[in-house]
């Protein structure tokens, strides 16, 4: 029984947010805050209020659907608004975006950004300004899209010396390499397909030549090893010259080719950091990261190896990371050292559904005495219980009086399956108790 | 150049910790705090001070090496010490450990624990007591060992409705299933081997029958879906009855068998949660989680699918998670809304090593005009540069005047490799520029 002792979380003042940039990620952020604000408040007691959006055009949404926001083309409206506590920069690039980030920090506002290019090119100025004005700059979305790797490096691994990491952090090149390895395609074929599907830009240079992965590797290494890194010193090679013959040899030797950002700390203050196509064992976790997915494989001296996997780009995954940063900054603004009873929602029960009503696909093995006429009888029972069959496998058996037959069944309620199996198990030709396993296709 | 503007982090008062339990995890925690306290302070400004250890015996360490701590057999010495701010409970089980957790919370102390059994069996009492006394209970180490899954669910995914998760969260059974699938072993053979290697207890019941995975699944579902869950209602099946014939059929059908904790939210306040052996696609990320490793695959409505992988048990990985909790609570105790300049270590440079001095294993492909005498010449060059050869692959070529030869080379300095390749490329029998890729074995 739920304990009726929780009050509604005492929502503090709303956290007021200004957004610069309304492209695919910016509109995804607005969508997330519109759709999921209730659950964010339930979990954290925080009300995240998007007040103002600054963009040159608002083509992703109708003006009417944006009527709750103040819309502007002048970013000074974000920086000069005393009510705005956090400026979210989602314009990208190392131009005007940097100007906005610096101005917001100077105005004492916290900044959340997905802009790895700006952070890599102007790390010194940006972080120095943040320190001087005691404003924070958070950038979970800048590396690995929706993967919470920045927070993991900064907080979860706080007790570890991070020895090394290996990162697939460019979705474009990983998608292309997946096609080149899986289908034997050339670089040119893979690029064309990636552009058709929107995984590669019209000008893919910064992705395919490793520049994007280099910027991200430098940021991760900065967090991992705790110091300032001159990203121009990072050795970089792209995937443009990979040829099918080498992809084929790699396979023959038990490897897959992946574009990796690699960093290893050799001693305090000294590290190797490099980005290039790399042969890695085909059976490793990292080799199985395919298509547009990203993953970071990291070794801590106490944690050992660990891996973080997810979508490295896209409107919704990136918005998920931006909101994680907004949550953390909101907690700081409201004073994080208060006890937060909203962590424990013991004021409501989650009903665990009875297993009978759960739906799964199934594997079912019968051991039967003979083959003839059996399928007709069994499938009639399935049909009666509205269970449909995906496939049937019969094998030659050592003992011709004890033959396995395997059925793969489409999704069905447990109750229906159990009733059908009970009926089937009573057929005289069934020799042993039928064996059942649930199937999850993880799709 | 590093900016010399950071002062030493203003380390607040040390956070004073009392530890109950000095088995494998407890001694791992003491070891971590002894070895890595400096980097924790550098990163966070926090000094984590382990003051008192309570245990019935201290057989893991010599008394002398523990002389810096106060040692006691009476847990009241932790709870009644006004200086102790956080009690770490690493005894385990649902007996005396629960008593200590409750007493610490009642004394207003925050609690960190790895004890999923206590949390699952006494969730109501423990969380109710935490709320009443406004003390926190953190349990990163209770699910997934070193994997920071609790923090990911609670903070990184705060903007997502978590729709479902699939979790490999019992290392014993995953190790056994890896042997049963990979080597065709029976359940009994796999259990024997797991016990020999220390991956299974003498009495393995709670692992192999799914009880441990059930407790952890309930905790994760509580966080994911935000409510109270009666863990006795979770359907549970173990791995004891899995037979080689079904493992073989699974492979033939393209699946692997894994013991999964599965939870899916159907509507607010209603979920299916169940633990059982499950057929999952052999090519999926989760299917590649082998041996004693754990992983949690989770889908958020904005994040999409993501996966978190690492060691699910063991002294050091578990200590890593306990310290992550201590860090977070320490930040709260010291007032988290202060600006923390230690986030940016721009007062020191990380030197990026010149690529010439980096060591890698290499793949090298030559295209040559003929076969005879070539290996002798090439291997002589390698020997001169102290490069050793792991393997050589020669193929029949379509064009007998343009034959690929592939060398896999052991670890060597880039500089040595480049010099050797430069020499080799000048041989008259080499037709094209040699092709090189670095190899990382991720070991």
Q: Using a CB-CB distance cutoff of 8 angstroms, which residues of chain A are in contact with residue B140?
A: 156
What is the mean predicted confidence (pLDDT) over A65-84?
97
Fold matches, A15-144+316-343 and A355-439:
no
Phi, psi of B237 (to 5 degrees): -135, 145
Q: Using a CB-CB distance cutoff of 8 angstroms, which residues of chain B are in contact with residue A255?
A: 363, 439
Query: If one looks up domain B149-311 in CATH, what number appears?
Result: 3.30.360.10
- The interface pTM score, or ipTM, of the predicted complex is 0.94
Residue B104 is predicted with a pLDDT of 98
Residue A60 is predicted with a pLDDT of 78
Minimal C-alpha gap between B305 and chain A (Å): 6
H-type alpha helices, B75-186: 76-79, 96-106, 116-121, 123-132, 149-151, 171-183
pLDDT at B432 over 70: yes
pLDDT, one tens digit per residue, over B406-421 is 999 999 999 999 999 9
Q: Distance between CA atoms of A413 and A153, rounded to whole angstroms?
A: 43
Closest chain B residue by Cα to residue A438: B278
Q: Distance between CA atoms of B53 and B35, rounded to whole angstroms?
A: 17
Q: Distance between CA atoms of A274 and A287, rounded to whole angstroms?
A: 18
Residue B124 is predicted with a pLDDT of 86
Contact assessment for residue B126 and residue B118, using Cβ atoms and an 8 Å cutoff:
yes
B84 vs B15, B149, B336, B377, B395, CA distance in Å?
Answer: 8, 27, 19, 71, 69
Q: How many other CB atoms are found less than 10 A from the CB of residue A375?
A: 15
pLDDT, one tens digit per residue, over A272-326 is 999 999 999 999 999 999 999 999 999 999 999 999 999 999 999 999 999 999 9
Q: Distance between CA atoms of B118 and B112, rounded to whole angstroms?
A: 12
Q: Is the model more confident about A123 or about A257?
A: A257
Exposure on the CB side of residue A150, measured as CA atoms within 13 A? 27
pLDDT, one tens digit per residue, over A145-177 is 999 999 999 999 999 999 999 999 999 999 999
> Residue A53 — very low, low, confident or very high, per pLDDT cuts 50/70/90?
very high
Q: Is the model more confident about A54 or about B42?
A: A54
Q: Do B158 and A40 touch (CB under 8 A)?
A: yes
What is the mean predicted confidence (pLDDT) over B167-179?
97
Whether the model pTM is above 0.90? yes
Question: What is the residue-wise DSSP string for B254-297?
Answer: TEEEEEEEEEEEEETTEEEEEEEEEEEETTSTGGG--TTEEEEE
Q: Residues of chain B with pLDDT > 90: what percent?
A: 84
Q: Distance between the two ends of chain A, CA-based, in angstroms?
A: 34
pLDDT at B8 over 60: no
In degrees, to the nearest 5, what angle opens at C-alpha B242 toward C-alphas B241 and B247? 165
In degrees, to the nearest 5, what angle opens at C-alpha A241 toward C-alphas A235 and A247? 105
pLDDT, one tens digit per residue, over B131-152 is 899 999 999 999 999 999 999 9
Contact assessment for residue A135 and residue A111, using Cβ atoms and an 8 Å cutoff:
yes
CATH topology of domain B15-144+316-343: Rossmann fold (3.40.50)
Q: Distance between CA atoms of A392 and A344, rounded to whole angstroms?
A: 47
Minimal C-alpha gap between A204 and chain B (Å): 22
Query: Tokens 């956080």 correspond to what residue?
Result: B86
Q: Distance between CA atoms of B379 and B398, rounded to whole angstroms?
A: 25
pLDDT at B174 over 50: yes
What is the mean predicted confidence (pLDDT) over A342-354?
81
Q: Do B320 and A159 touch (CB under 8 A)?
A: yes
pLDDT, one tens digit per residue, over A90-141 is 999 999 999 999 999 999 999 999 999 999 999 889 999 998 999 999 999 9
pLDDT at B258 over 90: yes
Pairing of strands A110-113, A137-138: parallel
Q: Using a CB-CB distance cutoff of 8 angstroms, which residues of chain A are in contact with residue B309?
A: 285, 306-309
Arithmetic mean of pLDDT over chain B: 93
Query: If one looks up domain B355-439 in CATH, what number appears?
Result: 3.30.70.260
Minimal C-alpha gap between A56 and chain B (Å): 26
Question: Which of A158, A323, A351 minimises the CB distance to B44?
Answer: A158
pLDDT, one tens digit per residue, over B323-366 is 999 999 998 888 755 666 666 777 788 999 999 999 999 999 99
Question: What is the residue-wise DSSP string for B33-50?
Answer: HHHHHHHHHHHHS--EEE
Burial annotation A28-63 (CB, 10 A radius, 16+ → b, else e): bbbbbbeebbebbbbbbbbbbbbbbbbbeebebeee
Contact assessment for residue B360 and residue B438, using Cβ atoms and an 8 Å cutoff:
yes
What is the mean predicted confidence (pLDDT) over B373-397?
93
Domain ranges for chain B, please list them. 15-144+316-343, 149-311, 355-439
Name the CA dihedral angle for B338, B342, B344, B347, rounded to a multiple of 10 degrees.
Answer: 130
Q: Do A339 and B246 touch (CB under 8 A)?
A: no
A216 is annotated as an active-site residue: yes
Q: Distance between CA atoms of A69 and A168, rounded to whole angstroms?
A: 37
pLDDT at B277 over 80: yes
pLDDT, one tens digit per residue, over A201-222 is 999 999 999 999 999 999 999 9
């Amino acid at each position: 029984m739920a304990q009726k002792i929780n009050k509604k979380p005492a929502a503090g003042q709303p956290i007021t947010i200004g957004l610069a940039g309304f492209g695919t990620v910016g509109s995804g952020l607005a969508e997330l805050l519109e759709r999921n604000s209730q659950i964010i408040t339930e979990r954290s007691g925080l009300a995240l209020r998007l007040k103002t959006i600054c963009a040159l055009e608002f083509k992703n949404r109708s003006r009417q659907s944006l009527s709750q926001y103040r819309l502007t083309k002048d970013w000074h409206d974000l920086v000069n608004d005393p009510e705005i506590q956090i400026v979210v920069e989602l314009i990208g690039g190392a131009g005007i975006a940097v100007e906005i980030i610096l101005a917001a920090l100077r105005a004492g506002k916290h900044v959340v950004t997905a802009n790895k290019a700006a952070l890599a090119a102007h790390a010194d100025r940006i972080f120095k300004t943040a320190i001087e004005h005691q404003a924070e700059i958070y950038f979970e979305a800048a590396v690995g899209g929706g993967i919470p790797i920045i927070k993991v490096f900064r907080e979860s691994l706080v007790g570890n010396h991070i020895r090394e990491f290996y990162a697939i952090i460019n979705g474009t090149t990983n998608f292309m390499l997946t096609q080149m390895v899986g289908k034997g395609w050339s670089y040119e074929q893979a690029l064309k397909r990636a552009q058709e599907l929107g995984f590669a830009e019209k000008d893919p240079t910064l992705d395919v030549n490793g520049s994007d992965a280099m910027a991200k590797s430098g940021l991760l290494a900065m967090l991992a090893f705790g110091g300032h890194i001159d990203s121009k010193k990072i050795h970089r090679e792209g995937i443009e010259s990979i040829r099918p013959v080498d992809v084929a040899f790699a396979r023959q030797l038990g490897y897959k080719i992946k574009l990796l950002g690699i960093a290893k700390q050799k001693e305090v203050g000294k590290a190797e950091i490099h980005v290039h196509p790399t042969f890695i064992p085909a059976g490793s976790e990292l080799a199985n990261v395919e298509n547009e997915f990203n993953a970071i494989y990291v070794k801590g001296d106490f944690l050992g190896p660990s891996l973080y996997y997810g979508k490295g780009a896209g409107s919704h995954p990136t918005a998920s990371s931006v909101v994680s940063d907004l949550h953390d900054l909101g907690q700081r603004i409201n004073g994080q050292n208060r006890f937060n009873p909203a962590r424990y929602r013991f004021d409501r029960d989650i009903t665990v559904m009875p297993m009978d009503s759960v739906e799964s696909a199934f594997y079912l093995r019968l051991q039967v005495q003979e083959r003839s006429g059996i399928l007709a009888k069994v499938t009639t029972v399935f049909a009666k219980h509205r269970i449909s069959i995906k496939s049937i496998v019969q094998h030659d058996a050592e003992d011709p009086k004890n033959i396995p037959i395997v059925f793969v069944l489409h999704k069905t309620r447990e109750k229906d399956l159990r009733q059908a199996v009970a009926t089937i198990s009573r057929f005289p030709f069934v020799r042993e108790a039928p064996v059942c396993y649930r199937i999850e296709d993880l799709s």
